[in-house]
């Protein structure tokens, strides 16, 4: 009996890891179109950083079989870039997980930066728009700009808009309904800043949002076109 409990624990752990690998294999078939080697050509982008076999729907948050120690953090860094329709597009998916072992606990720290962006011409107005409700939790704002209204009651009810230019809301409001309802349920975070229009998907919002990446890029391009008009 003395040795039975550790043996049972080992069997349970091995069985759990086996089941996890089976789930990953099934998910790999389901989300095969999201491997970088398949996704990048469909988007008209080039792989600047990342393993072509990596899948944006399965990583980086799944670390089965990956060793993470105090001196060996886990890092996932994918970048795709290109100009499929003339306007530069930038896709970044970065995740870093660090471990720190203390006397009574093990602490994990997470760093995330993930977005899809299209470049804007100089002078395009800056703004930030976030969903008021998200199935994955609140979306933190990044900028202290004053609140604005779009003039569309449905848009103003669903989103919070911040900008120095009060005309921004009316410009972007017609395009927001083009995002898939499931994507809007996950939560939308748009940011026009520093010459780029970004769809941000930090932290736990990443995989759910990036499932719609082929819809997001043309929507951003259309919004960018409108922002650059008077």
Task: Report pLDDT digits (tens) over 206-226.
Answer: 767 899 999 999 999 999 999
pLDDT by 10s per residue, the chain, length 230: 444 545 554 554 444 444 444 554 454 568 999 999 999 999 999 999 999 999 998 876 555 556 677 777 888 899 999 999 999 999 999 988 888 888 878 887 878 889 999 999 999 999 999 999 988 888 999 999 999 999 999 999 999 999 999 999 999 999 999 899 999 998 999 999 999 999 998 666 676 789 999 999 999 999 999 999 99
Residue with tokens 């040795």: 3
Residue carrying structure tokens 């309904």: 177
Q: What is the pTM of this model?
A: 0.83
Residue 67: burial class (beta carbons within 10 Å; 0-12, 13-18, 19+): exposed
User: Tokens in use for 166?
Assistant: 């009060």
The 10s digit of each residue's pLDDT in 66-78 is 667 777 788 889 9
Distances (CA, A) of 151 to 141, 155, 213: 21, 8, 28
> Which residue stretches of the chain are H helix?
4-30, 36-43, 153-158, 168-176, 181-186, 206-210, 213-227
Does 99 sit behind a cis peptide bond, omega within 30 degrees of 0 on the bond before it? no
């Amino acid at each position: 009996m003395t040795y039975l409990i550790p043996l049972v624990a080992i069997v349970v752990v091995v069985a759990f890891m086996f089941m996890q690998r089976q789930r990953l294999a099934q998910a790999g078939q389901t989300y095969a179109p999201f491997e970088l080697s398949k996704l990048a050509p469909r988007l008209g982008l080039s792989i600047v950083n990342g393993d072509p076999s990596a899948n944006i729907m399965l990583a980086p948050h799944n670390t089965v079989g990956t060793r993470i120690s105090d001196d060996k953090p886990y890092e996932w860094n994918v970048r795709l870039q290109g100009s499929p329709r003339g306007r530069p597009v930038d896709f970044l998916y970065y995740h870093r997980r660090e471990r720190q072992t203390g006397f009574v606990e093990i602490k994990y720290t997470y760093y995330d930066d993930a977005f899809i962006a299209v470049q804007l011409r100089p002078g395009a107005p800056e703004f930030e728009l976030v969903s008021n409700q998200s199935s994955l939790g609140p979306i933190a704002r990044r900028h202290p700009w004053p609140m604005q209204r779009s003039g569309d009651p449905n848009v103003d009810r669903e989103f919070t808009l911040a900008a120095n230019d009060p005309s921004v809301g009316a410009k972007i409001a017609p395009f927001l309904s083009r995002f898939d309802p499931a994507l809007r349920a996950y939560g939308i975070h748009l940011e026009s800043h520093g010459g780029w229009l970004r769809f941000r998907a930090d932290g736990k919002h990443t995989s759910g949002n990036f499932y719609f990446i082929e819809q997001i890029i043309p929507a951003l391009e259309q919004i960018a076109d409108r922002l650059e008009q008077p």
